[in-house]
Structure 1
Amino acid sequence: MTNRPYVLLSCAASLDGYIDDNTSERLLLSNDADFDRVDEVRAQCDAILVGASTIRRDNPRLLVRSEARRASRLERGLTETPTKATITRNGDLSSDAQFFAAGETDKVVYATSSGFDKTQQAVGAVADVVDAGDPVNFELVLADLARRGIGRLMVEGGGSMHTEFLTTGLADELHLVVAPFFVGDSAAPRFVKDGAFPWNKDHRARLASATQIQDVILLRYALSNRFQD
């Protein structure tokens, strides 16, 4: 599939590969300097995508935080914050979530055919709901985003979303930040779930750069021939 946005996956994980712990409190895996880097990457993208479970678990706003970066986007004729997109299988979403309530930008929800009516009823007043097949067809999702003018998509989780984009070969770049501690709880969510990944012991992903950011390290991987160095 060539007519699709450039897909950049962004994730922070512990040394043992977890993106959160198993408590109700959000686990901070990074630091202020890296949060600012993520904000810069967001500001350079046309859309940000997270899974519905991430919305329910973390209630993220997914906004560009820097006033200067928001102003720069406005000067370029863009919205202050990129378009926000999510994927839901059962329509279990609330229009009160910050994903929908925060930020003057387009919101798009890709729903399964079986969950479309429930999703439309739940968030149709605050977002554009799209039938994405059953199960969700990720190529269809990317094609629809391309039709909306999205050239660069940032995927910020969670594990199900990262797994789908990686196993389907629809990711071009990965930013993986490694935190200097262990979670040590198999019940906690991981960076990816089980799957048949294109990269294995016989076909390794290419490491484009490794950058220390205070006490974490950013590993940047090239995942396709579309990689933009």
Structure 2
Amino acid sequence: MLDRPYVLLSCGMSIDGYVDSPSDERLLLSNAADFDRVDEVRAGCDAILVGAGTVRVDNPRLLIRDETRRAARIARGLPPDPVKVTVTGTCGLDPAARFFTLGDADKLVYCATPALPSAEEKLGKVATVVDAGDPVDLTRVITDLAGRGVNRLMVEGGGTIHTGFLTGGLADELQLVVAPFFVGDSRAPRFVGDGCFPWGPERRADLTEVRQIGDVVLLRYALSERYRD
């Protein structure tokens, strides 16, 4: 068994499988109740991972919003927020992004080997920069995270990251929220890209839960024998 964290993928998409619009304006794919659910899931994780593209485009905070959940983490001997993790091939990241500047959680940047020197110079004061191989090796990333005490990892995208974890067989669970509308524009990014996925017509993923949350639907899939209900 690979020594790695439990990996939970989380994503929201439109009925036709898009995770954003082609415009610069962020597309909201969820509602207040589901955002609160995601906050609860985050609070139960040791680290949250997003790709560098998500850091650039969405400028996420990746912090626990609910103060009761933050206090509960502290009571368990944990920091109030999970470790923030990003993965980059080129280090096209701004050290002033909210990923780096908000919250006291540790920040880890897994960087492709050729970009390592520039990443350390650019981000070394705001994050820990780690060699992730050439090209970036997600197995190497999560093995290193396990060595840093990360037992439960939440992966929040984007599409390239989700595709890598799924095609690499590195995901244990998928929490997929479907919003009640279509985007209908192929210029918009999708949940995943092309790839050879372990689940197909001959091997269906195991659907373990369907839950309506206001006007969206949560679908939970077990993707490995390590799945925890």
Q: For this structure pair, what is the TM-score category when the shorter chain's length is used for normalisation? A: over 0.9
CA distance in 2, matches of 1:46, 1:16: 32
Q: Tell me what 2:197 maps to.
A: 197
Q: Tell me what 1:23 maps to.
A: 23
What does residue range 47-66 of structure 1 map to in structure 2 within 5 Å? 47-66=47-66
Once the 2 structures are TM-superposed, how far is the Cα of residue 25 of structure 1 from its aligned partner? Answer: 1.0
Q: Which moved more, 1:127-136 or 1:116-125?
A: 116-125
Once the 2 structures are TM-superposed, how far is the Cα of residue 77 of structure 1 from its aligned partner? Answer: 1.0
Q: Which moved more, 1:115-124 or 1:105-114?
A: 115-124
Is the partner of 1:201 in helix, strand or coil? coil
Identity percentage over the alignment? 62
* 2:123 matches 1:123: yes
Is the partner of 2:8 in helix, strand or coil? strand
Q: Tell me what 2:34 maps to.
A: 34
Once the 2 structures are TM-superposed, how far is the Cα of residue 222 of structure 1 from its aligned partner? Answer: 0.1
Q: Tell me what 1:84 maps to.
A: 84
* 2:70 matches 1:70: yes
What does residue range 40-189 of structure 1 map to in structure 2 within 5 Å? 40-189=40-189
Give 1:150's aligned amino acid: V
Once the 2 structures are TM-superposed, how far is the Cα of residue 119 of structure 1 from its aligned partner? Answer: 1.2
CA distance in 2, matches of 1:175, 1:13: 11
Aligned residues: 229
Unaligned runs of 5+ in 2: none
Give 2:39's aligned amino acid: D
Once the 2 structures are TM-superposed, how far is the Cα of residue 121 of structure 1 from its aligned partner? Answer: 1.6
Once the 2 structures are TM-superposed, how far is the Cα of residue 2 of structure 1 from its aligned partner? Answer: 2.0
Q: Deviations over 1:69-128 (max 9, x none)?
A: 001111111111100000000010111000000111100000000111121122111100
CA distance in 1, matches of 2:11, 2:144: 24
Once the 2 structures are TM-superposed, how far is the Cα of residue 5 of structure 1 from its aligned partner? Answer: 0.2
Give 2:201's aligned amino acid: K
Give 2:74's aligned amino acid: L
Q: Tell me what 2:208 maps to.
A: 208
Q: Deviations over 1:111-166 (max 9, x none)?
A: 00011112112211110000110011111101110011000000000000000000
Once the 2 structures are TM-superposed, how far is the Cα of residue 12 of structure 1 from its aligned partner? Answer: 0.1
Give 1:156's aligned amino acid: E
Is the partner of 1:49 in helix, strand or coil? strand
Q: Tell me what 2:3 maps to.
A: 3
Q: Tell me what 1:217 maps to.
A: 217
CA distance in 1, matches of 2:213, 2:32: 10
Give 1:35's aligned amino acid: F
Give 2:202's aligned amino acid: D
Q: Deviations over 1:27-56 (max 9, x none)?
A: 000000000000000000000000000000
Give 1:158's aligned amino acid: G
CA distance in 2, matches of 1:163, 1:185: 20
Q: Which 4+ residue blocks in structure 1 deviate beyond 2 angstroms?
A: none
CA distance in 1, matches of 2:5, 2:143: 8
Is the partner of 2:90 in helix, strand or coil? coil
Q: Deviations over 1:2-30 (max 9, x none)?
A: 21000000000000000000111110000
Is the partner of 2:113 in helix, strand or coil? coil
Unaligned runs of 5+ in 1: none
